[in-house]
Structure 1
């Protein structure tokens, strides 16, 4: 059995503990998986948290959880954080799965919570596939999959 180390980077700004949700899914599907966690204050702190999990903790892959607010500055911060995560991936040659839930994706608190939980679970399952069954992702290419929302399916002529 291959033993994996999947880092979990999250923020205190988020309103749902998505890292714990993902950790539960990972432990169900990857027996023996280690899940070191690094929590930071805000979304723009995630790139260095992820890079440290990779370089200092030896993670095979990292999941980065964030929940940008609904304002324009929040959206700008999310874009900057995304760019930082991409740079961290390129610098470390390691996948960082961005799991962001924008507060304005939901109509109310309940929907926001459900969306965050579902997105964290579905991205954790993607991580399992990336590590254990990459051919499964290849079979899903072009299928209009959406984490946290209903799949839209492939475009048809």
Structure 2
């Protein structure tokens, strides 16, 4: 049975890991095709090692790494460093780790920020499922300007 990893943080102001778990639980084949393995770490700089451990120790085929950087400039620098670590973990393991960051300054209204989290995390959970079981769904959407968490940009004219 395949395993999909979900790692989230205590620092986030929304329970992003539970959003991913609920979205995956609604997928066809849940329980028969795959199991969700979840870990929670203190902050987003801890995501890369936890994701790598889920792949190497728990045999996860793909990992969804969720974090919520704060709005300060220092938080943005740290988010960039965390993203670099996640990319390195992908290269070292040869497995996809979908980085799902929702930056606090993306939406000043708390209710809308929560909704942004739900949409972005849920969309990436679907992407993780498609990577494993329906890669043709991703291919159908190539070049369409599809965004996770905001309005789609759409394709360029004549593209």
Q: Same fold (TM over 0.5)?
A: yes
Tell me the alpha carbon deviations over residues 93-120 of structure 1, each in whole angstroms, 9 at most, x when there is no partner. Answer: 0000001000000021101100001111
- Of residues 66-75 and 126-135 in structure 1, the stretch that sits farther from structure 2 once superposed is 126-135
Distance in 1, Cα, partners of 2:123 & 2:152: 12
> Is 1:151 paired with 2:149?
no
Distance in 1, Cα, partners of 2:140 & 2:115: 27
Richer in strand (by share) = 2
Matches within 5 A, 1:72-87: 72-87=73-88
Matches within 5 A, 1:2-151: 3-29=1-27, 30-32=29-31, 33-151=34-152
Distance in 2, Cα, partners of 1:18 & 1:155: 32
RMSD: 0.9
Distance in 1, Cα, partners of 2:97 & 2:63: 5
Q: Find runs of 4+ consecutive structure 1 residues off by over 6 angstroms.
A: none
Tell me the alpha carbon deviations over residues 21-62 of structure 1, each in whole angstroms, 9 at most, x when there is no partner. Answer: 111111211421211111111110110000100011000100
TM-score, normalised via structure 2 length? 0.94
Unaligned 5+ runs, structure 1: none
- Of residues 17-26 and 94-103 in structure 1, the stretch that sits farther from structure 2 once superposed is 17-26
Distance in 2, Cα, partners of 1:128 & 1:48: 22
- Of residues 43-52 and 29-38 in structure 1, the stretch that sits farther from structure 2 once superposed is 29-38
- How many pairs were matched up? 155
User: Secondary structure of the residue that 1:99 maps to in structure 2?
Assistant: strand
Unaligned 5+ runs, structure 2: none
Distance in 1, Cα, partners of 2:115 & 2:57: 33
